[in-house]
Amino acid sequence: MNRAVPAPRSLSETLKFDARELNSRRTFFQLSDDDLARLKGLRPFAERHMDDVVEDFYRLILSHPEARRFFPDDETIRRVKRLQRDYFLQLFDGVCDLAYVENRLRVGAAHERIGMAPRWYIGAYRHYLAILLDRITADVPDPAEARASYQSMLRLVGFDMSLAIDAYIAANLDTLGRHQAAIRELSTPVIKVHDHILLLPLVGAIDSERAQQIMEAVLLRVIGEKARAIIIDIAGVPVVDTRVADHLLKTTAAVRLVGGKVILTGISAQVARTIVQLGVDISTMYTVAELSEGIELALGLVGKQISTGAT
Amino acid sequence: MSQRGNIPILRVGSNLLTTIHIDLHDTIAEAFQEDVLVAIKNTGAKGLVIDITGLEEVDTYVARILADTGRMAALMGAHTILVGMRAEVAATLVRMGFAMDTVETALDVDDGLAMLQARKALGRK
């Protein structure tokens, strides 16, 4: 097959960061073309100070024991210093377009990946700005010009930080989403007990959303396994109220429509009392107290039975 | 068998089998019901399997047509079993409160025919 592998989605795409958003955010950070032009004019200044700014920057970070653990060896330090020099020079490129945004988002994502919490990132940035302020006041004789230059830097740095935080949040949401998917899957563990017989042990509270997932998972498995019966054990469900009973009835009705039968087991005395007192009619369901009885009933439905072997 | 509609109805032993693959609306539904009833009368079939594996969507109108067909067949002495409903269809119908309680169901055609055989063996009508 000659199918092209789709390019990995860029972070700006994932975050829906388009030209409109770029424009809006630049406006909010008051980052104008004048600022970018001013920064570009400072490029010689940046090149002159690149090495000592970066050295100074890492001196602080590495002096903090907790921050230091992100940089385990000299090789890592050499590498991040090199990256930092590139990063520093990019502040003075005078360009702030979507490619720049993507680059900054990646920086944020990279920090998130190594487990560096935003507090370290923000704290380090504070230090970065302090160093730049020292250098700019020393280098630019006119105080008004020095101030304007520093303001422009603040705007772009603020803009950068907002992107990094966006990337942090996006990465966390992504992790959260994956965990939720895992929990969803774990919440409906449909097990094959025997040919054409499935078992779903339900544990924990059942709300409407979970009930929906249960119904879908059960139907797909019943059809997929050609199951005649599915045993739903509710011994692990803490509260069975009208709503839960209704969900179970709906699942039973849907399973019947695809040609299967639901057997409800694990009904405690308390649950039996509640169901009757609530006036819920569950006469359409096969119900038994114990899971073992449910399995026997299910086997009966497929024409099999458990026999006691000769001892 | 001469038919009015274009949904084929086949004879399998003493039962009838029909597979619905097109949307059951208006005149198609009416022709289908008539074809089924005429076929039951002509063959003396005691059972009918309606296979809806091919239907991706079944609204309450179609569900009612299917249920009604089953009731009409029962009046003429044929027991109806609906087979092959898709998971999404079942979930949607139940959500709309349309559980088709009057119709017996089975997983697939094989199961449906087996159930009709079992009924026959039990000597039920």
SS (H, E, C) A271-300: HHHHHHHHCCCCCCCEECCCHHHHHHHHHH
**Among positive and negative, which fits the CA dihedral B50, B53, B56, B60?**
positive
Whether pTM > 0.90 for this model: the answer is no
pLDDT for residue A7: 52
What was the pLDDT predicted at B24?
A: 82
pLDDT tens for residues B49-59? 999 999 988 88
Residue A230: strand, helix, or coil: strand
Return the H-helix or E-strand segment holding A187.
helix A143-187
pLDDT band per the 50, 70, 90 thresholds, residue A209: confident
Test the A interface: residue of B49, B58, B85, B103 with most A CBs within 10 Å: B85
Q: How far apart are CA A225 and CA B124, in angstroms?
A: 30
CATH number for the domain running over B9-121:
3.30.750.24
Q: Give dist(CA B81, CA B63) in Å, integer.
A: 13
Residues of B with CB under 8 A from a CB of A: 82-87, 89-91, 93-95, 99-101, 105-108, 111-112
* Highest-scoring range by mean pLDDT, A7-21, A202-216, B104-118: B104-118
* Chain A residues within an 8 Å CB radius of B108: 226, 259
pLDDT tens, position by position, A133-146: 998 999 888 999 99
pLDDT band at A265 (very low <50, low <70, confident <90, very high): very high
Phi-psi region of A32 (alpha: psi -120 to 50; beta: other; left: phi over 0): beta
CB-based contact A234:A266 (threshold 8 Å): yes
- What proportion of chain A, given as a percentage, has pLDDT over 90? 40
Phi-psi region of A303 (alpha: psi -120 to 50; beta: other; left: phi over 0): left
The predicted pLDDT at position B125 comes to 47
Class of domain A191-301 as given by CATH: alpha beta
Residue A223 has its nearest CB partner, among B87, B101, B112, at B87
Q: What is the pLDDT of residue B124?
A: 57
Residue A19 pLDDT exceeds 70: yes
**Could A254 and B107 be called an inter-chain contact, meaning their C-beta atoms sit closer than 8 Å?**
no
Chain A residues within 8 A (CB-CB) of chain B?
215-216, 219-220, 222-223, 226-228, 250, 253-260
Nearest CB to A253 within list B99, B108, B112: B99
**How many Å apart are CA B114 and CA B108, to the nearest integer?**
10
In angstroms, rounded to a whole number, what is the distance separating the alpha carbons of residues A126 and A132?
10
> Which residue would you say has higher pLDDT here, A56 or B5?
A56
Closest to B89 measured CA to CA, from B44, B45, B31, B24: B24
Question: Between chains, do B90 and A255 touch, taking CB under 8 Å as contact?
Answer: yes
Reported confidence tier of residue A207, pLDDT bands at 50, 70, 90 = confident
B39-50 as b/e: b if 16+ CB within 10 A: bbeeeebbbbbb
> What's the pLDDT at A3?
46
The distance between the two most distant Cα atoms of chain A, rounded to a whole number of Å, is 104
Statement: residue B4 has pLDDT above 80: no
Mean pLDDT of A28-52: 92
Residue B107 has pLDDT above 80, yes or no: yes
State the average pLDDT over residues A117-125: 85
Q: Helices B26-43 and B60-75 meet at what angle, rounded to 10?
A: 20
Q: What is the mean pLDDT of residues A8-35?
A: 88
Tokens standing for A23? 């424009």
pLDDT at A311: 67
Domain ranges of chain B: 9-121
Rounded Cα gap, residues A38 and A30, in angstroms: 14
pLDDT at A8 over 70: no
Outline where chain B has alpha helix (H): 26-43, 60-75, 87-95, 109-121
pLDDT digits (tens, 9 = 90+) for B15-71: 999 999 888 887 888 899 999 999 999 999 999 999 999 998 888 889 999 999 999
Summarize the confidence of residues B80-106 as an average pLDDT.
92
User: For residue A223, which residues of chain B lie inside 8 Å, CB to CB?
Assistant: 86-87, 107
Distance CA A51, CA B73 (A): 90
Residue carrying structure tokens 């959500």: B95
Q: What pLDDT does residue A308 have? A: 86
According to CATH, the superfamily of the domain at A11-184 is: Globins (1.10.490.10)
Instruction: Output the pLDDT for position A171.
Output: 87
The verdict on a CB contact (< 8 Å) between A228 and B107 is yes
Q: How confident is the model at residue A172 (pLDDT cuts 50, 70, 90)?
A: confident
Residue given tokens 């299917």 in the structure block: B66
Residues 6+ apart with CB under 8 A from A307: none
C-alpha dist (Å) from residue A284 to A174, B70, B99: 42, 20, 12
In chain B, the largest separation of any two C-alpha atoms, in whole Å, equals 38
What integer is the mean pLDDT of A275-290?
A: 83
Is A215 in Cβ contact with B94 (below 8 Å)? yes
Burial class of residue A172, CB neighbours in 10 A (0-12, 13-18, 19+): exposed
Question: pLDDT (tens digit, 9 = 90+) per residue, A75-114?
Answer: 888 888 888 888 889 999 999 999 999 988 988 888 888 8
B85, A228: Cβ pair inside 8 Å?
no
Report the gap between the CA of A255 and the closest CA in chain B (Å).
7
Q: Which tokens hold the place of B62? A: 């179609």
Chain B residue with Cα closest to A259 = B106
Where exactly does CATH 1.10.490.10 map onto chain A? 11-184
* pLDDT, tens digit, 9 for 90 and up, residues B83-93: 999 999 999 99
Residue A22: predicted pLDDT: 92
How far apart (Å, rounded) are the C-alpha atoms in residues B100 and A256? 9
Contact B93 A257 (CB under 8 A): yes
Q: Where are the alpha helices (DSSP H) in A30-73?
A: 33-41, 43-63, 65-68
Segment A59-81, tens digit of pLDDT? 888 888 888 888 888 888 888 88
pLDDT at A40: 94
Contact B109, B51 (CB under 8 A): yes
ipTM for the predicted complex: 0.85
For residue A184, the distance in angstroms to the closest alpha carbon of chain B comes to 18
pLDDT beyond 60 at A6? no
